[in-house]
Chain A
Amino acid sequence: MSETFTSPQFDQATRDAVSNDDVTVIIGLEVHVQLDTESKLFCGCSTEFGAPPNTQTCAVCTGMPGSLPVINERALQLSIKTGLALNCEIARYTKWDRKNYFYPDLPKGYQISQFDKPICGQGYLDITAPKGEFEPRRVELERAHLEEDAGKSMHDESQRGGNSKIDLNRTGTPLLEIVTKPDMRSPAEARAFLTELKLILTYIGVSDCNMQHGNLRCDGNVNLHIKVGGEKIATPIVEIKNMNSFRAAERALGYEAGRQLKLWKQNGKTIADAPKQTRGWNDADQVTTPQREKEESADYRYFPDPDLIAVTIEESEIESIKKEIGRLPAQWRELLIKEHGLKPYDAGVMVGQGAEVVEYFLVVAQGCGNSKMASNWVGQEVLRFLNESGEAIDAYPVSADQMTELLTKVNAGELDQTRAKEVLQEMIDSKIEVQAAMDKLGIKAVDNSEIESLCRQLIDENPDVIQQIKDGNGKAVGALIGKSRKLNPNANPGLVKDTILKMIGA
Chain B
Amino acid sequence: MSEPIDRKTVESVARLARIDLPEDQIDDTASKLGDVLTYIGQLEQVELPDDVEPFFGAIESVNAIRPDQLTDSVDREQILSNAPDADGEFYQVPPVL
**Chain A contacts to B: CB under 8 angstroms:** 37-39, 43-46, 52-59, 62, 64, 70-76, 93, 95, 100, 102-104, 117, 153-156, 161-168, 292, 295-296, 299, 301, 304, 306, 308-312
Find the residue from A45, A163, A167, A296 having the highest chain B CB count within 10 A: A163
Q: A310 vs B57: C-alpha distance in the bound complex, in angstroms? A: 8
Least CB separation from A37: chain B residue: B68
Which A residues are in CB contact (< 8 Å) with B85? 163
Q: A100 vs B58: C-alpha distance in the bound complex, in angstroms? A: 20
Over the window 57-97 of chain B, the binary record of Cβ atoms lying under 8 Å from chain A Cβ atoms (1 yes, 0 no) is 11101111111111111101001101001010111111111
The reply to whether B79 and A309 contact each other, CB–CB distance below 8 Å, is: no
**Contacts A54-B89, A57-B74, A72-B65 known; 6 new A-B pairs at CB < 8 A:** A39-B71, A71-B65, A166-B91, A166-B92, A296-B12, A311-B63
The reply to whether B91 and A104 contact each other, CB–CB distance below 8 Å, is: yes
Is the C-beta of B15 less than 8 angstroms from some C-beta in chain A? Answer: yes
Over the window 34-68 of chain B, the binary record of Cβ atoms lying under 8 Å from chain A Cβ atoms (1 yes, 0 no) is 00000000000000000000001111011111111
Of B18, B59, B64, B92, the residue contacting A71 (CB under 8 A) is B64
Which B residues are in CB contact (< 8 Å) with A308? 64
Is the C-beta of B16 less than 8 angstroms from some C-beta in chain A? Answer: yes
Q: A44 vs B70: C-alpha distance in the bound complex, in angstroms? A: 5
- Main secondary structure, interface of A, reads loop
Which A residues are in CB contact (< 8 Å) with B65? 70-73, 76, 311
* Known contacts A95-B56, A165-B92: A54-B16 contact under CB 8 Å: no
* Known contacts A54-B80, A57-B74, A102-B18: A72-B66 contact under CB 8 Å: yes
B79 nearest CB across to chain A (Å): 6
The reply to whether B16 and A100 contact each other, CB–CB distance below 8 Å, is: yes
The reply to whether A162 and B79 contact each other, CB–CB distance below 8 Å, is: no
**Chain B contacts to A: CB under 8 angstroms:** 12, 15-16, 18, 56-59, 61-74, 76, 79-80, 82, 85, 87, 89-97
Q: A308 vs B59: C-alpha distance in the bound complex, in angstroms? A: 9
Least CB separation from B77: chain A residue: A54
Of A55, A73, A153, A168, the residue contacting B67 (CB under 8 A) is A73
B3 nearest CB across to chain A (Å): 18
Which A residues are in CB contact (< 8 Å) with B79? 54, 57-58, 62
Which B residues are in CB contact (< 8 Å) with A75? 68
The reply to whether A309 and B95 contact each other, CB–CB distance below 8 Å, is: no
B72 nearest CB across to chain A (Å): 8
The reply to whether A309 and B59 contact each other, CB–CB distance below 8 Å, is: yes
Which A residues are in CB contact (< 8 Å) with B57? 95, 304, 306, 309-310
Least CB separation from B57: chain A residue: A304
Least CB separation from A96: chain B residue: B57
The reply to whether B96 and A153 contact each other, CB–CB distance below 8 Å, is: yes
* Known contacts A104-B91, A304-B57: A38-B69 contact under CB 8 Å: yes
Of A162, A165, A295, A309, the residue contacting B15 (CB under 8 A) is A295
Which B residues are in CB contact (< 8 Å) with A162? 95
The reply to whether A104 and B95 contact each other, CB–CB distance below 8 Å, is: no
Which B residues are in CB contact (< 8 Å) with A311? 62-63, 65
The reply to whether B16 and A53 contact each other, CB–CB distance below 8 Å, is: no
Which A residues are in CB contact (< 8 Å) with B15? 295-296
The reply to whether B62 and A312 contact each other, CB–CB distance below 8 Å, is: yes
Which A residues are in CB contact (< 8 Å) with B56? 95, 117, 304, 310
Least CB separation from B85: chain A residue: A163
* Known contacts A72-B66, A295-B15, A306-B58: A164-B94 contact under CB 8 Å: yes
Q: A167 vs B83: C-alpha distance in the bound complex, in angstroms? A: 12
Of A53, A73, A163, A295, the residue contacting B89 (CB under 8 A) is A53
Which B residues are in CB contact (< 8 Å) with A93? 62
Least CB separation from A152: chain B residue: B90
Which A residues are in CB contact (< 8 Å) with B80? 54
> 14 interchain pairs (CB within 8 A)?
A54-B91, A55-B73, A59-B74, A64-B82, A73-B65, A73-B66, A73-B68, A104-B91, A104-B93, A153-B96, A155-B95, A164-B95, A309-B63, A311-B65
Which A residues are in CB contact (< 8 Å) with B89? 52-54, 165
Q: A1 vs B62: C-alpha distance in the bound complex, in angstroms? A: 35
Q: A74 vs B65: C-alpha distance in the bound complex, in angstroms? A: 10
Which B residues are in CB contact (< 8 Å) with A312? 62-63
The reply to whether B90 and A74 contact each other, CB–CB distance below 8 Å, is: no
Of B66, B82, B87, the residue contacting A165 (CB under 8 A) is B87
Q: A166 vs B80: C-alpha distance in the bound complex, in angstroms? A: 11
Which A residues are in CB contact (< 8 Å) with B74? 57-59
Of A103, A154, A309, the residue contacting B61 (CB under 8 A) is A309
Least CB separation from A151: chain B residue: B91
Q: A155 vs B63: C-alpha distance in the bound complex, in angstroms? A: 40
A293 nearest CB across to chain B (Å): 12
Q: A62 vs B79: C-alpha distance in the bound complex, in angstroms? A: 9
B21 nearest CB across to chain A (Å): 16
Q: A301 vs B96: C-alpha distance in the bound complex, in angstroms? A: 23
The reply to whether B16 and A296 contact each other, CB–CB distance below 8 Å, is: yes
The reply to whether A163 and B94 contact each other, CB–CB distance below 8 Å, is: yes
